[in-house]
Amino acid sequence: MRSEVREALIAKLTALADDEVILAHRNSEWTGHGPILEEDIALANIVQDELGHATLWLGLRQQLDGSDPDRLVFFRDADEYRCCALVELPKGDWAFTMLRQYLFDLYEALWLEAARHSSYQPLADAAQKIIREERFHLQHTHAWVERLGQGTDESNRRLQQALDMQWGYAQQLFVPIPGEELLVAEGMVPDLALIKEGWLEHSTRHLRNAGLKLPVNPGYQPTTRTYHTEHLWSLLAEMQSTARWDAEAEVW
């Protein structure tokens, strides 16, 4: 593998993993505080799956550069993280969390469908594994968006507020990272522009069916994963606090 392709692949795997780690973290904040027991159980399932996905992606990176996944997750500073801004946003209310999860799950399911054909076998295999869980997540959040959108005036209003806030951020899911074009050329990852078409089509149809309006002004649309929201620093401070408290510890 050419070194610039390898570098690009390492960066992409890191971005994929970082999205899962931070989103899982935000979702995990609901544990014990969900609107009903059954939904606590449901969201905890999504969290475990996402942590598993992060582990898979970082495992692939480890094969390339020997890096330790836990070291990457618990000892990188905010400016070294490569997650998108959408996942950093605070969890908000239940509508906010369900909408974000839907937008993300739809993107991920479409991306993984295509990524199963990656010319890089380990990535193809990982995608094949992850998509099984992702399909269930999407069914779940798809159902929630419909129910909250069509439920009561209040649930519709809250979901609309969430969409107004998130729509612009969600577009960043389709912004390639530096070097990604090399990976696309090699057939290692899908072309995000194509994924975006499918995502726009499915999401706008479903959101409209749910009784929502797409925001006229999408708001801020981040274009880089190098700079983050104000939230990431504090999020990481909490997330990494135990690990950093005893940095000598090799095993937890």
Contact positions toward another protein, by CB under 8 A?
21, 24-25, 28-29, 31-42, 44-45, 47-49, 51-52, 54-55, 58, 69-70, 73-74, 93-94, 132-136, 139-140, 143, 146-148, 150-152, 154-155, 158, 238-239, 241-243, 245-246, 248-249, 251-252
For another protein, the closer of residues 141 and 171 by Cβ is 141
> To the nearest whole angstrom, how small is the minimum distance from the Cβ of residue 218 to another protein?
26
> Locate tokens 């999401």: which residue?
203
Nearer to another protein, 8 or 43 (CB): 43
Query: Min. distance of Cβ 58 from another protein in angstroms?
Result: 8
Distance CA 16, CA 11 (A): 9
Q: Judged by CB, which is closer to another protein: 67, or 150? A: 150
Task: Please report the DSSP string for 182-197 in residue order.
Answer: HHHHTTSS--HHHHHH
- For helices 153-170 and 94-115, give the axis angle rounded to 10 degrees: 50
The least CB distance from residue 2 to another protein, in Å, is: 30
Angle at 223 between CA 50 and CA 108, to 5 degrees: 25
Distance CA 29, CA 25 (A): 7
The length of the chain is 252
Pick between residue 140 and residue 192 the one whose CB is nearest to another protein: 140
